[in-house]
Structures are given as C-alpha cells and as structure tokens.
Amino acid sequence: MEKTHFIILLFALLLNSCCYTLAVESGTTMKTFKSSQTLFTNPERGWIVHRFSNNMWGLDNLRNSAEKVSLVLIKIDISAYRNRNNIALEKLNEIRNSLDKCRTQGLKVILRSAYAWDWNEALPLPDPEDIQTITNHVIDMKPIYNAFEDIIIAVEMGMFGPWGEMHSSKHSTVNTKPFYPIRTDALRLVHNAYMSALPQTHSVLVRRPSYIREIFNNSEPIRPNEAYANTGKARTGYHNDAYLNSKDDAGTFAPNWSREDELAYVNKMTSFTFFGGEAFGTPNNAYNNANNALKESKQQHMTYLHRDYEPEIYDAWGSLVKQEFTRKLGYRFELKELAYSREVTPCGVLYFILKLENTGFAAMHLKRPVNLILVNGKRGNEQKTYETTLSVDPRIWTPESGIITINRNLRIPGSITEGIWQLFLSMPDISERLKHNPHYAVRFANEDVWTDDGRNMLIEELNIVASPSGSCADDQYFQEIPINSASLITQLSAMKTVQSLILSATYSKNYIFHQVFIDADNNSTTGYHVQGIGAEVLVENNAFYHHKGKTGTNWEWELVDGNIMPSNYGYKYLWQLPILHLKLPIMAYSQVVFAGTIDDKTDYSSIISVTVA
C-alpha cells in the first residue's frame, strides 16, 4: 500500500512539473502574454437583463454598462392564447421584431414563454388544460427559432405555471396546491416539442434538475462521450430562478436529494450544458453570501445571471465581488505562452505551440471556429491576409482543463511576400450573418491583444524570408499540415502495482475522447484489433470496458466501471484501474496503445509494454 501511494505521488509530482513551461526548440522564440483584469463583453455569457417582447427598452446602453451586458432574456407573454390552438401572426411578428432589435445592438438572446407574468395564489392556474395547446404553441415558434438561431443561444422551457417557472400548473402532480412539480408525461411531451422546434445545435433549459432525470428516466448526468450530440439529453440544460435561496433553493432541488448530491449532479451536467438564473432571498444568508456565491457559481458552471434581481443580494457582495462575476460568468479565455518559428519561408512550416487557460466559471457551449490570420499590414491601399481554421473545438476548453495546449504545424502560402507579417487569433461567430461583426467575436483576457475588428494579436512581427529559387509553388494555402500521429500522444507510461494499473500519457490536442487500448495477453489475434495489438480492455475518458465482441474490428464493449475519473494535469492524463476489476491478468509483456479522438479522427501513440513495480 505504501509503495503504491509513493508511486502515485511521484507521478503527480512529475506531471505537475512538466505541464506549464514550454520547451523552446532551436529556431523558435517564446512570447509570454500578460493577463488582464479588464471588464469587457463576450458573446453568449455574462450578466443578463430581462425584457418583454413588446417593450425592448434600453438595449443600446447594455454593452457599455458597468456589467458589460451582452445577453437579453426575452419574456414572451402568451396569456391571450391559452384558449387558442395557435399563436397569432401579430404576436409572432412582435417576437421577430424584438429579436431584430437585439441583433442590431450586437446582443444574444434566451427566450422564455409563459401564460402569466403577474400571479398570486388566489388567481386561477394560468396555463391551458389541454397539453396539445402548449405543444402547438411551442411548434408555432419553430420558424422564429430557425430564422434567429444565430443570436438565440438557448430557450428556457417555460410554458408551465406562472412566469413559466414550471410549477403551480394545471399539469402539476397535485393541481390544487401551488409550487407542485409538473407531471412527467407533460414534461416529456413539451420537451419533445422543443426538440422538434429548435435547431439541432440548440438546447432547452428546464427549471429543476429533477425534471431532467424524469424526462430521461435516468439519474446519471450526461457523460463526456454523450456531449454535443444531437440527442435530447445533450440538448437539455437547467436554470435556477431561486439561485442561492436556501437549502433546496425554494423547491428547486428534489426533496429526496440532498443539496450536496444535487450540486454534484449539476456540476457534471453543466460541464456540457448551459446553466443560469437569478438570485433570490434574504441578502447575505448562508447560501447567497459572497464567498458561497463564488464557490457555487464555479461549481455549477454558471454562464448567465440576472443583473437586476435581486440587487440587494449583489449590493451585499460589494463591488469587487460583483466585478469578479462580470469577469467569470461563462468562459474567460487567457493566453499564456506562445512558442513559434523565428522566421519562415514561403511554402515553409511555421511551428506553433500556444498555451491558454479558461479562468471563467463555465465552458463555451456553442460551436465556434478558431482561426489564425496572417496580415501584412497596409501597403499602399492593399492589405493582404491569409486565414486558416484550426482543427480544435473550444467547447472542451473547460475551467477544469487547466493549461490547454494547441500544438500545430502551419504551412505558409507560396504566394506570400517577404517582410514582416502579423499573426492574429480570431474566434468569430459560426454564422455567416454574424461572422464579420466584432460584437460577436471572442476577446481574450490579456493586455494589448484585442483589436477593434474582433481579433486577438498573437505575433506582432513574423519574419517571412525568401525561399531558394524554384523551390516553392505560387499558391494561396495557409493551412495545418499533419504532425506525425505518434508525436501527438507522448510521455507514455503503463505501470502495474499490487492494487492498480496506472496509465498516463500527454495528449497534445483537445480530444473529445481520451482512450487506452490494453492487450493483456500480448496476442494480436484476439480481442479488438487496433494498431497491431489485440485489445481486451478499453479505457475511455472516465470508464473502462472489456471487449465482448468478435475478434477483429467489432466495436462491442462491456462496461466494467464508469467512475474511473482520470487525473488531469494540463494535457497529462493519469488513470488508476483496480487490478481486481480486470478479468485478465496484466503482465510485463502486456501491450498498451493510447489514442485520442476528435471530429471522427483518431490519433494513436506508439506501442509500449507494461512495467511491473
């Protein structure tokens, strides 16, 4: 036991020592970026304000407000249609106009519809008795969801009960009492309607975590290998409009779940889905005091928070904590270091290793390109640019990732002219309509990098020198070129101790799936055939499996343990597999291959053998 602990500690120390400082090779230079505490807007995150679709006041001042607001929750009052099968064209046009106004001001939007926005317990329950009426109204909005998918980031389910808060409804479990939850069958019908009405890239946010468990009849939060798929579970998030109110957040958390268990569930779920809401309760209580608010907002990966409710809670925090929320709600990317070639020729290779970090509360949840742009500055009236999109998904730049490394070889265009060029990083909106609008581009939290046209300066002076005569075609290609796959997954280790099989590797790309294939019997004719070995065991992210399919390339695995969480030190991953859980003995001759998969492309390491401690 003591020997095992020593080995694990040694691994941890080695990993921590290797993960931040870049090794600068001959011919490369190093740049260190200075982080900034400046408050600024970024799309799809931050403080949010509420407006009714028929009264979209004060939008022009939001981006420059103290809270740097770039999000609006549009509240849609459909009370006039509770007894009508469809929403009138006049109302739908009102909603379109409200979205147009947000787009004009460089804002993004969350929508919520409800049948009552002013209610008390003495009033009748507000929503339609016929669930079909509710689903019809959801589908009525489908053309709007599609026409404005560029600025709508998500839709809160709403519909049920006053304020669309999904309680006190004619479809509650006990409809004679307020605050009772919605029946499971009604939840599923309306959720299915949203899945049909929304673009496949967009999600619906429900009011309680328990509703997600009921909709999918599953108490497990979404797993990493389920994220970002076109499935109902991957497209369902959560909002809390009694945030930090009390032990159960005013009924938000299920009575048969402790707050700790609910927060653990939310923590895993919101790694891949939106979470936001509004604070509610007595200021400076045990839950909404400044220290706990910072702690739980980080734990729950909060992306947005209602700026105007309740201000007394925010006043109790003080201005410094409120400013910290302005910085950290959602994602906040900081550049750390860049190693790159000192000079490069036309058709040559620019070696590029960038390190960055997400210091916000949450990940980015909508897909977005990461572009590199070469610019020569103006020469006369002409400015020449070359642009390439990196094979990287910024949605997996999570706060838990630590230091993130982008290691690329970039092929320089043959047509590029000699001289001093600049290199920019740009993360524009994915939509054609918004991609040239700097209001919708991502700004990094560093000094002296942001430009007014929506770019982030990486290299101020990149020297392009002449290539030998006749050695280069006159082409326009600025692009990634393949790096030897084995060099992408390095620092490999597989060590067997008395109790554990300890596996570790450094992954140089932002893979969705981190995998290890183990050929326990060193027999390439059995198990799953991959890279010349026959694997009986697969480790994938936080789970490991035994192969139960036919020998060869039959991808059929039996789950053994779904809770093998890897330790993650930057891009170094370490797993511990209990020996007792492995059906086959692991020996010194057992062979191991590490792999990483993103965008349906898999990179493999070289083969190593297990070391027995």
pLDDT in tens, 420-443: 999 999 999 999 999 999 999 999
Nearest to 487 by CA among 603, 601, 396: 603
Tell me whether residue 52 is exposed, middle or buried, using C-beta atoms within 10 angstroms of its C-beta: 0 to 12, 13 to 18, 19 or more: middle
Domain ranges of the chain: 2-18+486-612, 46-328, 333-481
Measured CA to CA in angstroms, residue 167 lies from 50, 114, 116, 247 at distances of 20, 12, 12, 18
Q: From CA 363, how far away is CA 272, in angstroms rounded? A: 7
| Contact (CB, 8 A) for 450 and 171 | no
Q: From CA 544, how far away is CA 526, in angstroms rounded? A: 18
pLDDT score at 22 = 39
pLDDT score at 11 = 36
pLDDT score at 463 = 94
| Contact (CB, 8 A) for 567 and 573 | yes
pLDDT score at 259 = 98
pLDDT score at 14 = 33
pLDDT score at 470 = 53
Which segments of the chain have a pLDDT < 50? 1-26, 176, 178
Residue 597: CB atoms within 10 A of its CB come to 17
What secondary structure does DSSP assign to 285-331, as a single string? Answer: -TTTSHHHHHHHHHHTT--EEETTS-HHHHHHH-HHHHHHHHHHSS-
Reported CATH class of domain 2-18+486-612: mainly beta
Q: From CA 408, how far away is CA 388, in angstroms rounded? A: 12
Q: From CA 334, how far away is CA 536, in angstroms rounded? A: 41
Q: From CA 62, how far away is CA 44, in angstroms rounded? A: 14
pLDDT score at 554 = 80
Domains 2-18+486-612 and 46-328 share a fold: no
pLDDT score at 182 = 96
CATH code of the domain made up of 333-481: 2.60.40.1930
Reported CATH class of domain 46-328: alpha beta
Q: Specify the DSSP element, H or E, that contains 236.
A: strand 236-243
pLDDT digit string, tens, across residues 228-275: 989 999 999 999 999 999 999 999 999 999 999 999 999 999 999 999
Q: From CA 416, how far away is CA 541, in angstroms rounded? A: 42
pLDDT score at 175 = 56
Whether pTM exceeds 0.85: no
